[in-house]
Structure 1
Amino acid sequence: MSMNPAPGDLVKARGREWVALPSPSEGILALRPLSGSEQDVVLLDPSLELIPVEPAGFDLPADAATTVQSKAGLLADALRLTLRRGAGPFRSAAQLAFEPRTYQLVPLLMALRLPVPRLCIADDVGIGKTIEAGLILRELRDRGEVDAFSVLCPPHLVEQWVDELKLRFGITAVAVTAGTAARLERGLPMSQTLFDAFPATVVSLDYIKAEKRRETFARACPDFVVVDEAHACVGTHKGKQQRFDLLSDLAKDPGRRMILLTATPHSGDKEAFGRLLSLVDSSFAEMDFDDPHYRERLARHFVQRRRVDLVSGDWHEDRAFPKHETTEDPYPLSPDHMAFQEAVLDYCLAVVEQAGTGQRERRLAFWGTLALMRCVGSSPRAALSALRNRALSQNERLEPRIYDEDGEDQDAVDLEPGTTFAPDDPALRALVSQAENLLNQPDPKLAALVKALRPLLSQGANPVVFCRYIATAEHVRDGLRQAFPHLTLAAVTGVLTPDERRDRVAEMAQGPQRLLVATDCLSEGINLQQVFDTVVHYDLCWNPTRHQQREGRVDRFGQPAPLVRSIMMFSPDSAVDGAVLEVILRKAEAIRKVTGVTVPLPQKRGPVTDALLAAMVLRRGATPQLVLDLRLKEGTTAMETRWRDVAENEKKSRTRFAQNAMKPQEVVPEWKKVRTLLGSPDDARVFLERAMACFGVPLETKAPVVLAHVEALDAGLRERLQQRNLTGSVRLATTEPAPAGAQRLTRTHGLVTTTAEALVEASLDPESLPGLGIGRVGAWSTPAVERVTWLLLLRLRHKITTHARREQLLLVEEAALVAMEEAALAATRNSTITATGEKARTLLNTPAAANMAPVARDRFITTAKAHLPALLKGPLADFVRNRAAELGQDHDRLRTAAPSTPRVSVEAVQPPDVIGLFVLVPSAV
């Protein structure tokens, strides 16, 4: 062999055996230790080695240590769990730190069936769009089709994406934001951008959209891009226009793969929806839904599922999501609080009546009224803050705040707005005095919250209480600390930086029971399902989608609690609460029941404002002046019409885009094959139980988790685990999702992979873990067979070539068990394979019937080893070739939908590595 070994060839260098991987450049070898992991790959130049690099083989040594049945089965499990370069068509499965649901594989299959994957994933909140995009990214990286990528997302989602990629997919990416870019660029050559230096990035859209940065990024942008919250990039607002210009430039490259994520693709804005679709394919902007050909083409790029479709439909994913129980908690206002609200509303209506007939003046007066009334309904402290504050210099910014549309300034989302009213008005000063007096009186709303929380907390719930304003959140936090002094309690508001918010939530996870008070700065950006299981809407949302976002932080994929509760607090005595319920929330809920989704407010807010004021006036029992009367009635009528239009459009949208083309029966069999080849989470659990018992440190069950006491393991193994930050007693969850403070036990968990690698290494080099008894040969009597059967544990290597614009050659591996009967070889001079896969594994794992005398054991082993060379040239060589052909068919089957997708060929590397040879003797012999 020349020292240009092909991928899969074995070489000897630096005193050990290695597997050759695809070379990064001419004359350089990429080598992975035969018994090592992906982290042990080295690059070397053969011409610089003191001892020449030589070809090597993997033979079963004459002095291979013997082992018993239980440890032979443990070795087979360990070998399967060490493999990271999976041979199956889902190559990414070997790298995942979680078990994806089958419905989450649909976008991946869609992507594999496109020559250039471009998808818009528009699943409901909480279904797992991040996971679905990550699966596509991980798969294309493991196939060698993607070298670099960028995730573009709003700034408050950057760190979450970095964490998700690392924890779930094993991908390390750097965050590129206004705060990190300068540090990342420091020291780089003038000719190199940070996107050249860092191939894996998560980028703040608000940082990169600026024109001077946009052009640089467009030139250096990787050919794989994920865009989160894509609907926020296609509107006509200046900031959205800049984002759209950026994405349009990227989409012009026909070879760029783009995955767009959004839970609200349409939102009632046809123009914005057309822009969104144009990023997938410019021709989709026409939106000719009446054309069957158009719909057929779009269906290959657009996937949209509601949770109800997955729970009650063919997917039967009811265990992937918790049950959701929603209740309302009405509370009465005290006479003083009611009098204050009525006084404020009377004052506001008087100001509106005096605003004149100019449209802008009247609209500003309407907004000022609603903004102040929101604060009044929230808490006396928020009302006092608003009454004391001066209005913004640009009063038009009041409208998005009123309707929970926070724009791009996430840090200011929960600040109380200032009033637009004259500061020297005696009536205004009287309201300030009235609010100050209320601060010293019992708060009926806070008392109702405490009453609602007591039974929940006694049942072990972990609630998060959402408030609209900072002043209210601080007021509620102080009150709850008095009511529940022994509880782990904290508040998270916009006064904290995004990193501080994340740290505070993470700190709370350590407490046995938690109670969080938060503003809507947490309704996006930080997933709370691992820490909290109950949502309390202390303040009503004025936009139904914000209401959904709050609950979606907790009620989502990965929630370990079987039941999520949500409580909506309101006062029937409050004109504010009554108006919001009547005009917005009740109607949105009615639409949700019909369509299965929460719809946003109609795009034009004027009728909404008019309808809310009309409802407040009528609930107050006041008779508005003629100047108000006509406009308010018109607004109410227009609002009703717009709600009907929104509901109808949403029903049409869901009918058009429901993803029904791919059925569970297409996805499930393919994933089952992967689980069999690589080992499922259940296989990982069984392996760890047996391995820890082998070390004399059995797992300890403390429902709902198990404890692995790694501090009691062998010193060498304990040191390896310490390098992975696994010390003390590790809490492991054996079911999905994992409870707070525990890690899901899967094949990629550090404890599983490190233990498996150590056991395989111990079989090859018994001195690495002396006394463990993990040998490579053995013989025992068993009831599992009727004739003497040889069972071979093999490591197969295949070369997979993807024939695309850029041809990719990859080395993949798999573990295999092959059984053949000794008598067949004696009779025909050729042995027939009698069992493989799970059937062979069953033979191996059947407990031995009795110990075999050493002399008899060695005789059976010697006979089998003598026939091994012939087996490797005959039936085993045929088995490996046939297995390569099967893999080729599996890969082709996933890409049959589009003939233009890359073709895949699979070539077996001969001979396979014989890791173990075991003789199974019938019990009667």
Structure 2
Amino acid sequence: MTNVFAPGDLVQARGREWVVLPSPETDWLMLRPLSGAEADVQILDPALETEPVRPASFDLPGLDQIATQDAARLLSDALRMSLRRGAGPFRSAARLSFEPRAYQLVPLLMALRQTVVRLLIADDVGIGKTIEAGLILRELIDRGEVDRLAVLCPPHLVEQWTAELATKFDIDAVAVTAASAARLERGLAPSQTLFDAHPFTVVSLDYIKAERRRENFARVCPGLVVVDEAHACVGTHQGRQQRYDLLSRLSADPERHLILLTATPHSGDAAAFDRLLGLLDTGFSGQGLEAESVRVRLANHFVQRRRADITGRDWGEDRAFPRHESAERSYALTREHRAFHDAVLEYCLGVVEGAGPDQRRRRLAFWGTLALMRCVGSSPAAAASALRNRLASDLDRLEGQVFDDDGDESEALDVEPAAGLDDAGPLAALVARAERLLKAADPKRDAAIEVLKPLVAGGANPVVFCRFIATADYVAAGLSKAFPELRIEVVTGALPSEERRARVEEMADAEQRLLVATDCLSEGINLQGLFDTVIHYDLSWNPTRHQQREGRVDRFGQPATLVRSVLLYSPDSAIDGAVLDVILRKAASIRSATGVTVPLPEDRGAITGALMNAVLLRDGGKRQQLSFDFGLAAAAAEVETTWRDAAEGEKRSRARFAQNAIKPEAVAPEWKRWRELLGGPDAVRRFVERAMSRLNAPLEIAANGRIRAHLHALPATVTERLAARGLENTIRLAFEEPAPPAAEMISRSHPLPSILAESLLESALDPGAVSVPPLGRLGAWSSAAVTVMTTVLILRLRHTLTVRGRRERLLLVEEAEALAFAATDPNPVASGDVARALLEGEAAGNLLDSARARLLTAAMQRVTAARGTILAAHAHDRAQALAEDHARVRAAATGSARISVAPVLPVDVIGLFVLVPAGV
């Protein structure tokens, strides 16, 4: 049977009225209840229905549906809040649970101006790359341009991505990891893959990069792919080569949308940067970038901004990020601790000397020395654990642990490394000395406590980052004694990822909190909502990791206006001073000059040589005659060259490729249109307050400004819907970003206003369908807002949006509109927010029932006459304006799709209200 109904038509089926939506199959009907929500969409085959599907019409309200002024305002707001099929130019605006900043729309606009989206988003840490990518995903889904997508990311980011897509973008993605893949594949048909069964996925790169999986995924990969931490996919390490092979296969499809995310696109490695750009377009790699025309073209695909680039008057982001104060605090080792450091160092260098000509043993002893000295400098607990560990055998793994690399197969490791040294003789004595120090005064832990005391007294909520699990547990025990009044938790890699997140979230109820964590939290879980201070208890030997720690709290959404970070170090340590001078301060100077953090280069010979040289000097220089084949003599000069090359690479990259294709003045009108559509935080708060009061569950607003909503007091239908979305009992609310700890951030698409709006609108359009007192759709009262009798119409406009490009797509879009008519003028005198504002005017008195009925009857007669003329003309005007909006945002797209918009008539009149001038 051929479907005779078009999107936007009204039909009657199964005893109720529906709106026809674009259907995936010609003979099927996709229907949304006329008075229901997106969640109530049904697909049916008309040929199988016992009663035929018939055309329907949206009738004007009857005189028995009388509304008060409060109900009229609620009806208008509920209509706006309930619409999810945004008219444009950003169709996804109503599906987001947050209000994006103007600068975050730049990548979206760049994407919309490309026929096939190929973007490298390289914004600095904390600016919001995940948000920028999510905006593009949601928009392409809602435009019907993609129906399947995959996010590829390191394994420790899978959970965060899945949660962000669900909570911020209303995208229900499944996590595909080594642990979940078998379960997801269970029960599938032999010809079906999990990527067919689950259109939206977040995939662990380390799971999917294996050769067998890589080939299968390349064959069934969705048409839209996001790659997070893309810089980790273009190196020459074996694991990174596997990732690169996969991405090369995916990018070879010219029709595939590909979005690459990284905060460190260049990393001082020109070859890796070249490979990264080549994933966007092979013409961007090699010598092609020397041509100005190529660089100009690349500017349409590459966005890279520091905070300084997006703050200030042009972007209106003066308060988007907190002020950051950083400091260093030194401490002196006691005689016992210094003697222990010297004894361990003496032992290590003795092992190096005794390694003989076996180069592998000598290199293992070299790395073991650095690894063990890191543990010794961290804490007696970490030192004792490392000294007990058995001989290590994997040089690459040991080097990665020393330099705080991201693991290729797992998260950043925080287990104390095996030192790679013999376990006979002196080791037992060293373990005993470490265990004795566990019971002695610790100058490092005491220094941390002294740093924390004034911060805690001032209300700070600190995160203390340690390198090793043993150190974190040891430090937390000491801090618990020093600050018994604080809620203190420890989160390390010893906990499963789900428990780490839960332990952090459980701290939200505390008035003040202190978290001790290892670098398992330096990525993957945002901490800005609960913490505002970072203490580097252990130095990170990777400047990127160092910045990531601070970036967990110093990022977009931090409610505090000031963020602090303090770095602890000891000049008596064999390692601390060298790490500060050779790595961290060099990286800091580059960041000061370029605005970005340069990670450690792939070739670390010069840096490791300089660190070992510092260790030898700490030993009084008496062992400098040893040759470890690391070029110690030239180490200092090589380090300077290494960092200089990295800095120059970043400078050249930014000078050539910094985003300049879209200026603030081009984004501002689109952002304004976006805010007008969403209504803003004030409008959302006003609606929630009025809706909760209407339903006899008013918000509780305390003297300190905290807001609570007692959801259990709402009607049963509403509480059931809220419970299905995880909202029950009493919750704290916030309407302005950033939300305080333990509070739900309430935006337009949050379940609370969404379900309130849907329930109230349903009560008005289909009284009795829900256990909510009906609002009514007609009203008349005396108002101080008008000087002549005025009729205000609340309208729902539906349009079909046809996109003609590589394939034709038909979409249904909706918008809420208001028109005001003076009694003596057939044409509207106001529209939009101006017309809605008339409903807010102070009521001057009630009307007699007979007068109200007479006025409403006359107004409905005029509306009936105007429905096919004036209202239809207004709908055509709105359709033309929407078409122009869509054309504008895609103005720069080569071969872009042609878009036409047509109104669906007649217009739905949701509410009609007559305002009589005061005194008449």
TM bracket, shorter-chain basis: over 0.9
* 3-state SS, counterpart of residue 823 of structure 1: coil
Partner in structure 1 of residue 876 of structure 2: 881
Q: State the distance in 2 between where 1:583 and 1:61 align.
A: 77
Residue 68 of structure 1: how far off its partner (Å): 2.4
After superposition, what is the alpha-carbon deviation per residue over 1:488-547, rounded to whole angstroms, capped at 9, x for unaligned? 322222222223322322333343332222111221222222232221111011111110
Partner in structure 1 of residue 853 of structure 2: 858
Task: Read off the aligned partner of 1:921 and give its amino acid letter.
Answer: V
Task: Read off the aligned partner of 2:436 and give its amino acid letter.
Answer: N
Q: State the distance in 2 between where 1:333 and 1:323 align.
A: 33
Q: State the distance in 1 between where 2:794 and 2:824 align.
A: 20
Partner in structure 1 of residue 92 of structure 2: 92
Partner in structure 1 of residue 802 of structure 2: 801
Alignment length (residue pairs): 918
Conserved 8 A contact 2:794-2:816: yes
Partner in structure 1 of residue 329 of structure 2: 329
Task: Read off the aligned partner of 2:807 and give its amino acid letter.
Answer: R
After superposition, what is the alpha-carbon deviation per residue over 1:557-582, rounded to whole angstroms, capped at 9, x for unaligned? 22223322211111122232111112
Task: Read off the aligned partner of 1:524 and give its amino acid letter.
Answer: E
Q: State the distance in 1 between where 2:824 and 2:313 align.
A: 52
* 2:893 matches 1:894: no
Task: Read off the aligned partner of 2:578 and give its amino acid letter.
Answer: A
Conserved 8 A contact 2:717-2:771: no
Out of 370-379 and 676-685, give the one that drifted further: 676-685
Task: Read off the aligned partner of 1:515 and give its amino acid letter.
Answer: L
Q: CA RMSD in A?
A: 2.2
Out of 645-654 and 873-882, give the one that drifted further: 645-654
Partner in structure 1 of residue 592 of structure 2: 593
Q: State the distance in 1 between where 2:9 and 2:194 align.
A: 36
* 3-state SS, counterpart of residue 834 of structure 1: strand
Q: State the distance in 2 between where 1:769 and 1:159 align.
A: 36
Match runs of 1:421-500 below 5 Å: 421-426=421-426, 428-500=427-499
Conserved 8 A contact 2:61-2:911: no
Conserved 8 A contact 1:699-1:709: yes
Partner in structure 1 of residue 176 of structure 2: 176
Task: Read off the aligned partner of 2:885 and give its amino acid letter.
Answer: D
Partner in structure 2 of residue 528 of structure 1: 527
Q: State the distance in 2 between where 1:54 and 1:431 align.
A: 87
* 3-state SS, counterpart of residue 283 of structure 1: helix
Q: State the distance in 2 between where 1:61 and 1:591 align.
A: 68
Residue 631 of structure 1: how far off its partner (Å): 4.4
Inter-CA distance 76–179: structure 2 relative to 1 (3 Å threshold): same
Task: Read off the aligned partner of 1:417 and give its amino acid letter.
Answer: P
Match runs of 1:196-345 below 5 Å: 196-286=196-286, 288-312=288-312, 314-345=314-345
* 3-state SS, counterpart of residue 861 of structure 2: helix
Q: 2:909 aligns with which of 892, 911, 914?
A: 914
Out of 638-647 and 85-94, give the one that drifted further: 638-647
Residue 651 of structure 1: how far off its partner (Å): 1.5
Q: State the distance in 2 between where 1:2 and 1:120 align.
A: 45
Partner in structure 2 of residue 811 of structure 1: 812
* 3-state SS, counterpart of residue 842 of structure 1: helix
Residue 315 of structure 1: how far off its partner (Å): 1.7
Task: Read off the aligned partner of 1:886 and give its amino acid letter.
Answer: A
Residue 233 of structure 1: how far off its partner (Å): 0.9
Partner in structure 2 of residue 419 of structure 1: 419
Residue 687 of structure 1: how far off its partner (Å): 0.9
After superposition, what is the alpha-carbon deviation per residue over 1:411-457, rounded to whole angstroms, capped at 9, x for unaligned? 5711222233333344x454333323222211111112222223322
Conserved 8 A contact 2:71-2:775: yes
* 3-state SS, counterpart of residue 674 of structure 1: helix
* 3-state SS, counterpart of residue 780 of structure 1: strand
Inter-CA distance 56–3: structure 2 relative to 1 (3 Å threshold): farther
Partner in structure 2 of residue 828 of structure 1: none
Give unpaired runs (5+ residues) of structure 1.
825-830
Residue 624 of structure 1: how far off its partner (Å): 4.3
User: Aligned residues: percent identity?
Assistant: 60
Conserved 8 A contact 1:792-1:916: yes
Conserved 8 A contact 2:2-2:27: no
Q: State the distance in 1 between where 2:790 and 2:639 align.
A: 78
Conserved 8 A contact 1:489-1:514: yes
Task: Read off the aligned partner of 2:489 and give its amino acid letter.
Answer: A
Q: State the distance in 2 between where 1:591 and 1:637 align.
A: 17
Out of 430-439 and 794-803, give the one that drifted further: 430-439
Conserved 8 A contact 2:405-2:412: no
Out of 260-269 and 395-404, give the one that drifted further: 395-404
* 3-state SS, counterpart of residue 735 of structure 1: coil
Partner in structure 1 of residue 830 of structure 2: 835
Out of 156-165 and 722-731, give the one that drifted further: 722-731
Out of 315-324 and 905-914, give the one that drifted further: 315-324
Match runs of 1:17-416 below 5 Å: 17-286=17-286, 288-312=288-312, 314-352=314-352, 363-410=363-410, 413-416=413-416
Q: State the distance in 1 between where 2:192 and 2:229 align.
A: 29
Q: State the distance in 1 between where 2:38 and 2:435 align.
A: 65
* 3-state SS, counterpart of residue 917 of structure 1: strand
* 3-state SS, counterpart of residue 526 of structure 1: coil
Partner in structure 1 of residue 502 of structure 2: 503
Partner in structure 2 of residue 518 of structure 1: 517
Q: Return the TM-score normalized by structure 2.
A: 0.96
Conserved 8 A contact 1:544-1:599: yes
Conserved 8 A contact 1:86-1:678: no
Residue 733 of structure 1: how far off its partner (Å): 0.8
Task: Read off the aligned partner of 1:864 and give its amino acid letter.
Answer: A
Out of 591-600 and 513-522, give the one that drifted further: 513-522
Residue 723 of structure 1: how far off its partner (Å): 3.2
* 3-state SS, counterpart of residue 447 of structure 2: helix
Partner in structure 2 of residue 540 of structure 1: 539
Residue 764 of structure 1: how far off its partner (Å): 2.2
Out of 18-27 and 272-281, give the one that drifted further: 18-27
After superposition, what is the alpha-carbon deviation per residue over 1:556-612, rounded to whole angstroms, capped at 9, x for unaligned? 222223322211111122232111112111221111111111111233211111212
Q: State the distance in 2 between where 1:704 and 1:529 align.
A: 21
After superposition, what is the alpha-carbon deviation per residue over 1:323-342, rounded to whole angstroms, capped at 9, x for unaligned? 22212222221111112112
Task: Read off the aligned partner of 1:470 and give its amino acid letter.
Answer: I
Inter-CA distance 287–39: structure 2 relative to 1 (3 Å threshold): farther
* 3-state SS, counterpart of residue 893 of structure 2: coil
Q: State the distance in 2 between where 1:773 and 1:197 align.
A: 41
Out of 756-765 and 244-253, give the one that drifted further: 756-765
Residue 171 of structure 1: how far off its partner (Å): 0.9
Conserved 8 A contact 1:464-1:517: yes
Q: State the distance in 1 between where 2:678 and 2:637 align.
A: 61
Residue 869 of structure 1: how far off its partner (Å): 2.0
Conserved 8 A contact 2:61-2:778: no
Out of 248-257 and 572-581, give the one that drifted further: 572-581
Q: State the distance in 2 between where 1:876 and 1:271 align.
A: 62
Task: Read off the aligned partner of 1:743 and give its amino acid letter.
Answer: E
Partner in structure 1 of residue 844 of structure 2: 849
Give unpaired runs (5+ residues) of structure 2.
none
Conserved 8 A contact 1:274-1:287: no
Partner in structure 2 of residue 754 of structure 1: 755
Q: State the distance in 2 between where 1:130 and 1:598 align.
A: 19
Q: Return the TM-score normalized by structure 1.
A: 0.95
Inter-CA distance 642–313: structure 2 relative to 1 (3 Å threshold): farther
Q: State the distance in 2 between where 1:567 and 1:877 align.
A: 65
Out of 887-896 and 556-565, give the one that drifted further: 556-565
Conserved 8 A contact 2:121-2:129: yes
